[in-house]
Amino acid sequence: MQKTIAIVGAGLGGLTLARVLQAHGVAATIYEGEESADSRAQGGLLDIHEETGQVALRAAGLYDEFLTLVRPGEDAKRVVDRHGTVLFDSPADPASARPEVDRGELRRLLIDSLAPGTIRWGHKLASIRRGPEGDYDLAFTEGSATRADIVIGADGAWSKVRPLLTPAEPRYSGTCFIEIALAAGREHCRASVAAIGSGTLMAVAPGRGIIAHRHADGHVRGYVALNKPEEWIGSIDFGNPSAGLRRLAAEFEDWSPLLTAFVTESDTEPSLRPIYALPVGLRWDRAPGVTLVGDAAHLMSPFAGEGANLAMYDGADLAGQLVEQPDVEAALTAYEERLFPRGSDAAGRSARNLETFFGREAPQSVVTLFDRS
């Protein structure tokens, strides 16, 4: 392929796309706004699904390397009520088809698999427009510019590429996350950490929850979840972290101290993560030379566990179409015909599961969900 390909965004979807293209001798350049691969923490664990994420890693020729990153024993799940009473307890499965890996380690694997110079760090997209010859002019905030025949938006929730295809924007789901964490070895938190088990603890009730994951080295990461109106988000000030955490803990005043300790004793900088989603079933008309992968195409809540998996699968699928189809528009059309239904299905499940976790029937609704899976 002689076309120039610009991938906007060095998340898991964009990286997988570039890797699979390069594995077939097709060059692509990734433009990423972050200054380096280590500019920020990459979040916690991901369960990589056999039918999506693992398929993508096989297409990228990285499946064996992926297996070395798997965290055995950390896929255990426990559901409790606000008193800490265990309602569901699933031990780790050494043969799980959805093994857990650290998101940062997986991203690093993909980055290191690319040819040197593939990623242009510090290139945050400022604007993009279609030129008179049908190609695209991209301008970046640091002053540089480039031109590409094909542009793929892998730039997440607030994609700058998406408006070329659709006016749709993410909508607030009504649920907000606040990150929490405990360092390993916190003696006065031992009972709370033990209550997690070896994997993930989900303490949920209507409109709220505390979810915590215990890593193999003993440290804990998780989040508080609250159903709140969007204006509430702007009222929270974490300029004084201790005061902010106390305010959050007040939302759980009738909960077990074993659970509220994850909030009051959190030793990470608390940060708000409002959950946004694109409309379920989002589609757009075909536009020459441009498409989307991952959250840019089908942003959803994390409650189907599909976001990262679909991003990688999208990237691998799109790369396969571009490699196999000599006609670019035929390749993009074929890709989108597959993208829309799989994104719609996962987004629908995600929206339903978000209600399951924090709706009126929680926590029993969560127990029922896991009993069926």
Residue 194 structure tokens = 């033990």
Q: 55 lies in a domain?
A: yes
CATH code, 346: 3.50.50.60
Q: 83 lies in a domain?
A: no
Kindly state whether residues 220 and 331 are assigned to the same domain.
Answer: no
pLDDT at 356: 95
Query: Structural domain of residue 313, as residue ranges?
Result: 5-72+99-170+278-357
Residue 32: closest CA among 48, 45, 13, 52: 13
Q: 369 lies in a domain?
A: no
Kindly state whether residues 182 and 266 are assigned to the same domain.
Answer: yes
The total of structural domains in the chain comes to: 2
Kindly state whether residues 301 and 344 are assigned to the same domain.
Answer: yes
Pairwise CA distance, residues 134 & 322, whole Å:
18
The position carrying tokens 């992968």 is 293
Q: 225 lies in a domain?
A: yes
Q: 370 lies in a domain?
A: no
SS3 per-residue string spanning 272-331:
EEEEEECCCCCCCCCCCCEEECCHHHHCCCHHHCCHHHHHHHHHHHHHHHHHHCCCHHHH
Q: Per-residue confidence of the chain (373 residues) as pLDDT tens digits?
A: 679 999 999 999 999 999 999 999 999 999 999 999 988 776 678 999 999 999 999 999 999 999 999 988 778 999 999 999 999 999 988 778 888 899 999 999 999 999 999 999 999 999 999 998 889 999 999 999 999 999 999 999 999 999 999 999 999 999 999 999 999 888 889 999 999 998 999 999 999 999 999 988 889 999 999 999 998 887 777 777 778 888 889 999 999 999 999 999 999 888 889 999 999 999 999 999 999 999 999 999 998 889 999 999 999 999 999 999 989 999 999 999 999 999 999 999 999 999 999 999 999 999 999 988 7
Q: 12 lies in a domain?
A: yes
Kindly state whether residues 151 and 291 are assigned to the same domain.
Answer: yes
Q: 82 lies in a domain?
A: no
Kindly state whether residues 282 and 141 are assigned to the same domain.
Answer: yes
Kindly state whether residues 68 and 195 are assigned to the same domain.
Answer: no
Global pTM value: 0.94
pLDDT at 368: 95
